[in-house]
Amino acid sequence: MVFEFSLTAQQGSARAGVLQTPHGPLPTPVFAPVGTQATVKAVEPRELQELGATLVLANTYHLHLRPGEDLVAEFGGVHDFMAWNGPMLTDSGGFQVFSLGEMRDIDDDGVTFRSYLDGSIHRFTPEVSIQIQHKLGADVIMAFDECPVPNDRAAVERALARTHHWLDRCAEEHARSGDLARQALFGIVQGGIFPDLRAASVEYAAGLDLPGYAIGGLAVGETKAEMVHTLEQTTSLMPANKPRYLMGVGSPEDLVNGVARGVDIFDCVLPTRVARNGAALTRLGRINMRNRQYATDHDPIEPGCTCYTCRTFSRGYVRHLVQSSEILGHQLLSIHNLHLLLTLMREMRAAIIDGTFDDYATAFLASYQPVGAAQGAALHTA
């Protein structure tokens, strides 16, 4: 059955499974590189395949604004448009719309907003978001939700009521106009950092018996401890027979902590975004390739790494590219960073199946240093 999810193994809360999709089976846990505008920045689809990527995310909001979902559909959908033949996921556009601040106006029916490109007026409702995603044609599509400030209870309660109402409308629109065998609609659990609201949201979303569920509204301003605690409480309540997707989270330590708490799917712009700012992800933490200490360093970015960048180039050369603002620097760092995250996911899956995940996670987190600590490097983000 298309979109059937089955568990292969479990150790504690950590799960290894397989999600069947129209574009092939998707082994989990899995990390999805983000292709915001139908491209993973500075990385070719061929390179994604060579890296072992099995899932890519594209952005509904950005593709709606440019080039438009009708044009993408004319090319056969986002798979054919960007020449990616593996499973794909599109977000609903909700997070981007709600992050626009004064450029958007929200009401109970939907959101009116100005394009950041030309100031033109657009409106997303739950039905419009689903219709756009139908035309884009990804395997997994997301419900339109409201992502509030996570620690403002009154705002979270208002947003949660909207999110649940909009989820009903998304499900109705998908059933009315979509191909349920070609696209799976995932609901999104919200509730900020409040356990009772998260529990209520899980109960409401699970009542619709959708093919999968996402956890939204984390890594948006709360502390790391609050995120992990909220995640642990939320996943423990979610249906065990459905895939769980933690939206917008992708640092190495967050991936390990997320898998340990039962998350199956992740996505994040982090590996390519920090690459464009000269940062490399390693098993010990992030390093800033702009640092002068790497100018004469003949070693690869991460000794022992088997990615193309580390097999071929020195830290000294990569630093030169970064300092010179050469596009190749973005490409090589993106390849390395994605390689690390995709490798971690494969290793964690194998460890769950082997029954060694607890030891793996403990060892990784013991040696990994948070941002700012790794080799004394300061990270420049954008």
Q: pLDDT value at position 375?
A: 36
Band of the pLDDT at 374, cuts 50, 70, 90? very low
pLDDT at 100: 80
pLDDT digits (tens, 9 = 90+) for 254-272: 999 999 999 999 999 999 9
Calculate the average pLDDT of the chain: 95
Report how far apart, in Å, the C-alpha atoms of 242 and of each of 115, 178, 213 are. Answer: 35, 21, 7
pLDDT band per the 50, 70, 90 thresholds, residue 200: very high
Find the length of the chain.
382
Amino acid code (one letter) for 269:
V
Of the listed ranges 150-154, 236-240, 314-318, the least confidently predicted one is 150-154
Predicted local distance difference test score (pLDDT) of residue 102: 79
Q: Cβ of 151: how many Cβ atoms within 10 Å? A: 14
pLDDT in tens, 82-113: 999 999 999 998 888 778 887 899 999 999 99
| 363, 283 Cβ separation under 8 angstroms | no
Please tell me the predicted confidence (pLDDT) of residue 96.
84
Q: Give backbone dihedrals phi and psi of 212, rounded to 5 degrees, phi first.
A: -165, 170
Q: What is the 3-state secondary structure (H, E, C) of the chain?
A: CCCCEEEEEEECCEEEEEEEECCEEEEECEEEEEECCCCCCCCCHHHHHHHCCCCEEECHHHHHHCCCHHHHHHCCCHHHHHCCCCCEEECCCHHHHHCCHHHEEECCCCEEEECCCCCCEEEECHHHHHHHHHHHCCCEEECCCCCCCCCCHHHHHHHHHHHHHHHHHHHHHHHHHCCCCCCEEEEEECCCCCHHHHHHHHHHHHCCCCCEEEECCCCCCCCHHHHHHHHHHHHCCCCCCCCEEECCCCCHHHHHHHHHCCCCEEEECHHHHHHHCCEEEECCEEEECCCHHHCCCCCCCCCCCCCHHHHHCCHHHHHHHHHCCCHHHHHHHHHHHHHHHHHHHHHHHHHHHHCCHHHHHHHHHHHCCCCCCHHHCCCCCC
The catalytic residue among 152, 267, 297, 299 is: 267
Give the pLDDT of residue 27.
98
- The separation between the first and the last C-alpha atoms of the chain, rounded to the nearest angstrom, is 42
Mean pLDDT across 185-192: 98
Q: Which pLDDT belongs to residue 309?
A: 98
Centroid of chain to Cα 281: 17
Closest CA to 35 of 51, 55, 64: 55
Q: Please write the tens of the pLDDT for every residue from 125-178.
A: 999 999 999 999 999 999 999 998 899 999 999 999 999 999 999 999 999 999
91 catalytic, yes or no?
Answer: yes
pLDDT band at 235 (very low <50, low <70, confident <90, very high): very high
Name the residue type at position 78: V
Catalytic residue among 70, 91, 254, 359: 91
pLDDT for 371 equals 79
What pLDDT score does 1 carry?
A: 66
- Exposure string of 323-357, with b = 16+ CB inside 10 Å and e = fewer, is eeeeeebbbbbbbbbbbbbbbbbeebbebbeeeeb
pLDDT at 379 over 70: no
Q: What is the pLDDT of residue 370?
A: 81
* Percent of the chain with pLDDT strictly greater than 70: 97
Whether the per-residue pLDDT at 194 is higher than 70: the answer is: yes
